[in-house]
Amino acid sequence: MTTTPAEQAAMRRALTLAATPGVPLGPNPRVGCVLLDAEGVEIAEGFHRGAGTPHAEVAALTEAGEAARGATAVVTLEPCNHTGRTGPCVEALIAAGVRRVVFAQRDPNPVASGGAAALEAADIEVEAGVMATVARGVNRAWTFAVEHQRPFVTRKFATTLDGRSAAADGTSRWISGTDARRDTHSLRAECDVLLVGTGTVLIDNPRLNVRDEVDEPVEHQPLRVVMGERGIPNDRRIFEAPGEALHLRTRDPRAAPAELYASGRQHVWLEGGPTLAAAFLKAGLIDEIYAYVAPTFPGAGANAVGDLGINTINDQLRWHLKRAGVVGTGADATVRLTLEPSKAGI
């Protein structure tokens, strides 16, 4: 079997629907669905709007009504085959009388997988893997978390040309420019956890939230998490509304992500100091880095990353540069590097 031009166009539309702005970032995947009639004309569409709401297939089937009988369902993720807060999408598609299902990404969740086989057992044609790579990108963190049983971890830091995260007197505001800070907030908003250590909270007292262009907190905030064994006073700014804050009393870089994953979190934005960064790096638990490099030389001060216990150049941790660009202009310009672990591993 092969897909038709109409099905390919429908998949592109379904992927757009899946990425609709404002949809909650987890714990469920983002999914879009388009229904086509026998001539390849769209008759309905839908997308998942968050946990507890109808899945994309059900939303589209509801819109189509009886017109769904004999239709082709084009979906960005393999229809689920289990009962959670809502019923199995496979059963809804079978009951609606669709004749064919085209989907992009196979469901990596063993609890929900098996949809394709169930559809085929009901004599429904199935075409899998259409634009699967793009679909995985829509649910990058969710897919990683399900496959690795831990959240995807993005490390962000700002540094000077001589690798400093703060000056000799401890001051660090502001290393990066105004545009770089706005850029950081747009990237923070893609995560469901903002994580720092107790040292950062006690010394810097950050708000650790997502703010808009006029520096005001947005309504929907990621979970603010501080990890470490020291106590945190209740007057610290991470406890301010809107949003919630959590103190994980552990220094173990493996224990914190495990606890967050168990609570349904999938993407951690790691913005702590050099000690916490070093701990996660040594544990091999950083999956992406955003490094903002300012064109300055403070000459002394804290390093951007703590001691990794490396004594020879042959043992250095190598990372692959995915993208490089400049954020801001003139004196406000900052270089942003996007990196991922090298194929050789960490």
Mean pLDDT of the chain: 91
pLDDT tier at 112, thresholds 50, 70, 90: confident
Say which of 39, 42, 45, 57 is annotated catalytic. 57
Query: Binning pLDDT at 50, 70 and 90, where does residue 87 land?
Result: confident
Which tens digits make up the pLDDT trace of 40-78?
999 999 999 988 899 999 999 999 999 999 999 999 999
What is d(CA 301, CA 207) in angstroms, rounded to the nearest whole number?
23
Residues composing the chain: 346
Our answer to whether residue 244 is catalytic in this structure is no
pLDDT at position 167 is 74
Model confidence pLDDT, tens digit, residues 123-140: 999 999 999 999 999 999
Residue-level pLDDT at 345: 42
| pLDDT of residue 225 exceeding 90 | yes
What are the tens digits of pLDDT across the range 266-288? 999 999 888 999 999 999 999 99
Q: How far from 159 is each of 18, 30, 297, CA to CA, in Å?
A: 35, 34, 10
pLDDT over 90, % of the chain: 69
For 90-98, what is the mean pLDDT?
A: 96
Is the model more confident about 100 or about 176? 100
**220-256 in b/e burial notation, b at 16+ Cβ within 10 A?**
ebbbbbbbbeeebeeebebbeeebebbbbeebebeeb
Span 245-267, pLDDT tens digits: 999 999 999 999 999 999 999 99
Domain boundaries, the chain: 5-139, 149-341
Output the pLDDT for position 1: 62
Angle among Cα 147, 151, 156 to the nearest 5 degrees reads: 130
Which pLDDT score is estimated for 178?
84
> In angstroms, what CA-CA distances link 36 with 19, 77, 259, 328?
20, 17, 42, 45
Task: pLDDT band for 164, please (50, 70, 90 cuts).
Answer: confident
Q: Is the pLDDT of residue 346 over 80?
A: no
- Could you tell me the CATH superfamily of domain 149-341? Dihydrofolate Reductase, subunit A (3.40.430.10)
Is the pLDDT at 344 greater than 60? The verdict is no
Specify the pLDDT at position 173. Answer: 67
Place of tokens 């831990």: 150
CATH 3.30.470.20 fits 5-139, yes or no: no
pLDDT in the model for residue 239? 93
Quote the CA–CA distance of 296 and 8 in Å, as a whole number. 49
What average pLDDT score do residues 217-246 get?
Answer: 93
Burial of residue 83 (CB within 10 Å: 0-12, 13-18, 19+) is: exposed
pLDDT computed for residue 145 by the predictor? 96
Of 144-158, 202-216, 294-308, 319-333, which has the strongest mean pLDDT?
144-158
pTM: 0.88
Count CB-CB contacts under 10 A for residue 149. 11
Q: Taking residues 13-20, report their average pLDDT.
A: 96
Residue 175 CA to residue 179 CA, distance in Å, equals 12
Q: What is the pLDDT of residue 232?
A: 93
Confidence at 23, pLDDT banded by 50, 70, 90: confident
State the Cα–Cα distance between residues 17 and 117, nearest whole angstrom.
Answer: 25
